[in-house]
Amino acid sequence: MNNDLSFTAQIQHPDIWHINKYLGLPDLDIETAAADVTVDFHLEIESRGWGVKGIDVYIDRVTTQIEWYIPSEDLKQSQIDKLISSGGIEMRNGDIEGSLKLTTDDYFKWEVKNEITVGQYGNIRPEGAEIDFENKTITIN
């Protein structure tokens, strides 16, 4: 039996909102090519003589890696410059690509919403994530 109730889960393809505003270009449609979220969490069990009263899930840390891109053909040079200053690279095919890494180590910048629940068959694990760059929230469910 595993008595260590700390876990790490990977979530692929989180929902991502308003990355364009985060990059300083709210009028552009910036696509995400790949994204994943790593969630470190632990469980605390409250027990009584008669059994388990409750199980609480606590998120310890969230890290995410997001790869983004946008075709540069319809962009103004000032928009291209802004994307490149945000870490983008102009590719041979005309796209501008970049990546962002976020972590909740700095709790003053990002709010983490914990919506993890006990599944129908008793399973407890993060199954999805939503990253909202406008409101600076990361929701784990």
pLDDT in tens, 25-73: 899 999 999 999 999 999 999 989 999 898 899 999 999 999 999 988 8
Total of domains in the chain: 1
Is residue 73 one of the residues assigned to a domain? yes
Element (H, E) at 35: strand 31-48
Structure pTM? 0.86
- Domain boundaries, position 17: 6-140
Residue 122 lies in a domain: yes
Residue 1 in any domain: the answer is no
Over 70: is that where the pLDDT of 3 sits? Answer: no
16-44 per-residue burial string, b: 16 or more CB within 10 A, e: under 16: beebbebbebeebebebeebebbbebeee
